[in-house]
Structure 1
């Protein structure tokens, strides 16, 4: 297969980024990934990714601090596309400042390096497309009226204000929601103010399920939502309802959409696109337990029963992901398959 373009994937050892790299390899791309350091988990990822390419299409670049000026200068050298997926994620932080700084400055630092690089080259070797991995947290806002349908035009206009009001006493999930919203706003502001010619796209996925490409050590470092599936599978409590938990998307669909963006928008100078990604609302944490107990009867004594059959309380809000579905060009991976495939990946995992 003739080699396609070189793509930079930031935070390549992350849950979504690892799948994105694998999807790119399968489609013939070369990948340069950024990591904070060459840890044991990074080496585990490299071994897994080597199954998806011919042995010379993966390169790693260490960036200890993504918010530093010029942090990405070396990483963007010679790339034709960028998938910016690295992002600070934590629900246990007590100080929001480091997370907000890393999310926003990490994004603008990358774009600054990308702009310089884009101006160096032209033609087929030019940097043509940057994808920013945002979140449904940057779209969903609980102050919308009953019956509101969330689309790409919506923004979370509550989280940042809530964080400013509560400061360090704000719950951890507010840190995450505010940082994702602020980072995506910074992404679009930078593009508007500089007039960059490369295509810019943001993807706003719902909570992401689906089998990890590799299992991190310790297993407790799994991405937040997929860890909920793991915890239920291992007999942990069934989480309470929340509006965000009523939506989901499979990680494999997210990764494939990054690829589709590069193919569809990568040759359109100045293209600007935002996509809401959600597959099958409404769902509930109870449904995760129901699927697991039905699919793994040998673990029924371990997996909590909860209230079988209980669904999410009546949701007045809805989510329109038709734009992303059209780009994907096939049916979304369903909730049941996503949960079962995730659990299969967890079989035999060490509980740490």
Structure 2
């Protein structure tokens, strides 16, 4: 496997960049699909891949919704790691064109390119899905007694999205449904693995300014430590960034059964209590707490209980997911380095 060429999308983002680091460290060559050359130059300059740039090349895909967008990118590759997809954002206004269509067309489009004769030789496509593709939307916002696994599926979204988060949830459900329908109908020579993470937390090397430390899902955890908890209740499900990147890279190994979904979430069925971050920083960062750099006396991010069972993934991959302590300390350590207060 080492030396084989991997196409990776989404490398400028949190999950994508960490996965890029891990797959390069495993000895693969990587073709990184980016929207523009500037995006590639930015990630190429980050320290973690400085020793691997000789095995890294860009391919420019300016519009993932365009027909045949990935036709050139997939040629000659053996594996695909498809991570690019719109994230939940309060800035979305056109939910259909900014969220839903890119999620579906980006995913189905790369599969369509992969089955064309010019792409012959691809062995596996690994896609980042989400826990939100597995559960009914209401379970994300209110208590639910059911324990969910990778065998569950969210119902067909019905439209009428109230906000960017609702559109994001629908986009992930649509994309997973479309992926599974594609595999069933086309029966490609390659197989497909879907990784379904919960809220991903950990050191995001693409963040190089302490003011941006709350970017993305890290904000749910670290925002409350800076006096800005999430404005709504967050499901009790989180996973370490390194664990997600590990699953994605290990999914390239043929020992991992294909045409399956794998759930990525930690703390077993009990899940994450977001307010526990206060006790964690009191224990591990007493100096920074006493100096007021980290705040532990304000309002916490509230937790919406929801149960997931990741045991199938842990058994299949032979891992134990890192817990909330590791997740919090990973972000806080990075924050303190950026502040120069470590």
* Separation (CA, whole Å) in 1 of partners of 2:126 and 2:57: 19
Distance change >3 Å, CA 86–CA 312, structure 1 → 2 = closer
2:265 corresponds to 1:278: yes
Q: Give the drift of 1:302.
A: 4.0
Deviation, structure 1 residue 71: 0.6
Measure the CA separation in 1 of the matches of 2:303 and 2:167. 25
Counterpart in the other structure of 1:84: 82
Q: How far off is 1:243 after superposition?
A: 5.3
Q: What per-residue deviation string (whole Å, max 9, x for no partner) do you get for residues 219-252 of structure 1?
A: 548652113334334x2322256352x1111111
2:322 aligned residue: 333
Find the aligned partners of 1:311 and 1:143 in 2 and give their Cα distance. Answer: 16
What displacement does 1:19 show?
A: 1.0
- Structure 2 residue runs of 5 or longer lacking an equivalent are none
Structure 2 residue 244 is matched with structure 1 residue 250: no
Q: Deviations over 1:104-135 (max 9, x none)?
A: 01111111110115x753xxxx2000011000
Q: Structure 2 CA distance, aligned partners of 1:23 and 1:146?
A: 35
2:194 paired residue number: 202
Q: Is 1:135 the equivalent of 2:130?
A: yes
- Identify the residue that residue 304 of structure 1 maps to in structure 2: 295
CA, structure 1 residues 218+43, in 2 after alignment: closer, same or farther (shift >3 Å)? Answer: farther
Residue 59 of structure 2, aligned match among 44, 61, 74:
61
Return 5+ residue gaps in structure 1 as ranges. none
Give the whole-Å Cα distance in 2 for the aligned partners of 1:109 and 1:309.
41
Mark the CA change 1:17 to 1:257 in structure 2 (over 3 Å): closer, same or farther. same
Deviates more, 1:294-303 or 1:190-199: 294-303
Counterpart residue number, 1:26: 25
Question: Is 1:262 the equivalent of 2:219?
Answer: no
Task: Report the more deviating stretch, 202-211 or 2-11.
Answer: 2-11
Q: 1:43 to 1:347 in 2, by over 3 A?
A: farther
TM-score by length of 2: 0.87
Deviation of 1:185 after TM superposition, in Å, equals 1.0
The structural deviation recorded for 1:27 is 1.1
Q: Counterpart of 1:202 in 2: which secondary structure? A: strand
Q: Give the 4+ runs in structure 1 shifted more than 4 A.
A: 142-146, 216-219, 306-313
Select between 46-55 and 104-113 the one with higher mean Cα deviation.
46-55
3-state SS in 2 of match to 1:256 = helix
Whether contact under 8 Å (1:82, 1:129) holds in the other structure is yes
8 Å contact from structure 2 (residues 12, 206) kept in 1: no
Aligned counterparts of 1:309 and 1:91: Cα–Cα separation in 2: 21
Matches within 5 A, 1:97-246: 97-98=96-97, 99-117=99-117, 121=120, 126-141=121-136, 146-157=144-155, 160-161=157-158, 164=159, 166-167=160-161, 170-215=162-207, 220=212, 223-233=215-225, 235-239=226-230, 242=233, 244=235, 246=236
Query: Separation in 1 of the partners of 2:108 and 2:255?
Result: 21
How far residue 151 of structure 1 moved from its aligned partner, in angstroms, is 0.9
- After superposition, the CA RMSD in angstroms is 2.8
In 2, Cα distance between equivalents of 1:51 and 1:100: 32
* Pairwise CA distance, 1:31: 0.8
| Structure 2 residue matching 1:347: 3-state secondary structure | helix
How many pairs does the alignment contain?
331
